Amino acid sequence: MRRFRIEPGGHLQGEVQVPGDKSVSHRAVMFAALASGTTRVTGFLESADCLATLAAFAAMGVAHRREGNALVIDGVGLHGLQAPDAPLDLGNAGTSMRLLSGLMAGQAFDSVLTGDASLSRRPMARVIEPLTRMGADIRGDAAGRAPLHIRGGRPLRGITYRPPVASAQIKSCVLLAGLYADGETRIEEPGVSRDHTERMLAAFGVPLRRGDRRVALQPVERLRAADVAVPADLSSAAFFMVAASIAPDSELRLPGVGINPTRRGVIDILLAMGADIVLGNEREQAGEPVADIRVRSAPLKGIAIGGDQVELAIDEFPAIFIAAACAEGTTRLTGAAELRVKESDRIAVMADGLATLGVDVTVAEDGLTIVGRPQAPSFGGGHVASHADHRIAMAFAIAALRADAAITIDDCDYVDTSFPGFVSVAAAAGLAIRSERAAS
Ligand SMILES: O=C(O)C1=C[C@@H](OP(=O)(O)O)[C@@H](O)[C@H](O)C1
Ligand SMILES: C=C(OP(=O)(O)O)C(=O)O
């Protein structure tokens, strides 16, 4: 296991090219595999999570190769996947497991989906339940967790599903099963969730009816291969947006970052906190809005965050909490219980780490309250446990910019699930970070 050691202080300058979007990369592999024809994916995120998805399709007979900077995938068609001869191991990737569960429910063969210790703790009843209503035979353990055993060859029927939480993973799972169902599949969500699946299905020639928090899909004969240019990942960019905001004398440019309106909550939250963020050259890339982002240091202030803002920034809260700890006044997050069922319990784990670094934080069931320390240093140094959660590790790494002593972080191998190369990219921008092999 590697651990990070970050010396305190520093400022950030220059251009940071963050890697491709994780959500879009997973979907690009899935839809390319199911399409008729060949798809070229550029900007594919070569991270552990997305490579697990790619390996799962390779195990089901989908060929891929690298040509220059493109990942080229030969689609096998909606009914062309082959039975894998072993369980599909999806590692740490919740998106992969939940989306694949819907897809596997529609196949003629049986499959088993497994994952690592973190993924095996995450709730899967949220996909088992709607898929069972559609006619699938899918079972987890007694607590509704992975491994998931899926019996193939079951006829599926379209349903109208109203998930209890707004979740792109649940929605996408049901839509993927809906590709194989008899009749229309409808989803009506209690809130806004990211719409990468809908955008990419449309690009692959699948007609959808979309309304406010609603989507409906009719089964189709085939998906039409369509090249995908994956935007840079806003969730990875978020660490640098916060870092440049809290470090003095900093200015970073982040080119080609996805700013999908169902994902861009972190930009709006940081702007509301007083951040100096400017979006330029806004354009569309493979059906997704992207922009070049410029961030400069700025004094931040605490705000209240809740309601619809939560899902729009769901993966960015570890970074946002670091911003809040450097802000003038109090930041209060509510309505974010979903953070407790990510790769780690991100409310408890972030609260523990912030407290270790001397920040006054109060935990609630669905959020937390952070009293900011606007005078640098905002953090003491110390040793923080990432609980094998990539986003926790990266969040505490940037906290060192406002610390008075070194911060060390355990269990940082998992950063590769979403941001391979984080250490060298962050070091080149000005963070005094190094990765060390830990004793155990
Ligand atoms: O669909 C996706 O790609 C994702 C959806 C979100 O999860 P939920 O659907 O559970 O909100 C997010 O946290 C995850 O990192 C990626
Ligand atoms: C929650 C995340 O991913 P997943 O659900 O795919 O594991 C994340 O990347 O923060």
Three-class SS of residue 319?
A: helix
Please give the Cα distance from 215 to 217 (Å, whole number): 7
- Out of 169, 235, 345, 414, give the residue to mutate to test ligand 1, the one with the largest number of ligand atoms within 8 Å of its CB: 169
Ligand 2 centroid – CA 407 distance (Å): 24
Q: How far is CA 39 from the centre of its chain?
A: 23
Burial of 209 (0-12, 13-18, 19+ CB in 10 A): exposed
Specify the residue with its C-alpha closest to ligand 1, atom 14: 95
- Tell me where in the chain the CATH 3.65.10.10 domain(s) lie: 2-20+231-437, 22-229
Any bridge partners for residue 290, and if so which? 258, 283
Indicate the CATH number for domain 2-20+231-437.
3.65.10.10
Q: Pairing mode, if any, of strands 181-182 and 156-157?
A: parallel
Specify the residue with its C-alpha closest to ligand 2, atom 8: 315
Q: How far apart are the first and last CA of the chain?
A: 7
Superfamily, domain 22-229:
Enolpyruvate transferase domain (3.65.10.10)
CB of 194 within 6 A of ligand 1: the answer is: yes
Does 391 count as an annotated binding residue? yes
H runs (alpha helix) in 64-166: 94-105, 125-133
Hey, how many other C-beta atoms are within 10 angstroms of the C-beta on 247? 25
Specify the residue with its C-alpha closest to ligand 1, atom 11: 167
Does 213 count as an annotated binding residue? no
Q: How far is CA 364 from the centre of its chain?
A: 23
Ligand 2 centroid – CA 93 distance (Å): 6
Please give the Cα distance from 386 to 393 (Å, whole number): 5
On whether ipTM exceeds 0.95, the answer is yes
**The model scores a pTM over 0.95:** yes
- Out of 312, 342, 387, give the residue to mutate to test ligand 2, the one with the largest number of ligand atoms within 8 Å of its CB: 342
CB of 173 within 6 A of ligand 1: the answer is: no
Number of H helices and E strands in the chain, helices first, is: 13, 28
Residues recognised as catalytic? 315
Please give the Cα distance from 81 to 89 (Å, whole number): 17
Please give the Cα distance from 257 to 105 (Å, whole number): 34
Three-class SS of residue 165?
A: coil
Q: How far is CA 337 from the centre of its chain?
A: 17
DSSP code string of 317-329: HHHHHHHHHTSBS
Specify the residue with its C-alpha closest to ligand 1, atom 3: 23
Please give the Cα distance from 108 to 125 (Å, whole number): 22
Q: If you ran DSSP here, which 8-state letter would residue 418 be given?
A: T
Does 287 count as an annotated binding residue? no
Hey, how many other C-beta atoms are within 10 angstroms of the C-beta on 36? 16
CB of 236 within 6 A of ligand 1: the answer is: no
Mean pLDDT of the chain: 98
Ligand 2 centroid – CA 418 distance (Å): 8
Q: If you ran DSSP here, which 8-state letter would residue 139 be given?
A: E
Nearest to 47 by CA among 414, 393, 387, 437: 414
One pLDDT digit (tens) per residue for the chain, 440 residues:
999 999 999 999 999 999 999 999 999 999 999 999 999 999 999 999 999 999 999 999 999 999 999 999 999 999 999 999 999 999 999 999 999 999 999 999 999 999 999 999 999 999 999 999 999 999 999 999 999 999 999 999 999 999 999 999 999 999 999 999 999 999 999 999 999 999 999 999 999 999 999 999 999 999 999 999 999 999 999 999 999 999 999 999 999 999 999 999 999 999 999 999 999 999 999 899 999 999 999 999 999 999 999 999 999 999 999 999 999 999 999 999 999 999 999 999 999 999 999 999 999 999 999 999 999 999 999 999 999 999 999 999 999 999 999 999 999 999 999 999 999 999 999 999 999 998 75
Instruction: Evaluate whether 310 touches 336 at the Cβ level (below 8 Å).
Output: yes
Does 102 count as an annotated binding residue? no
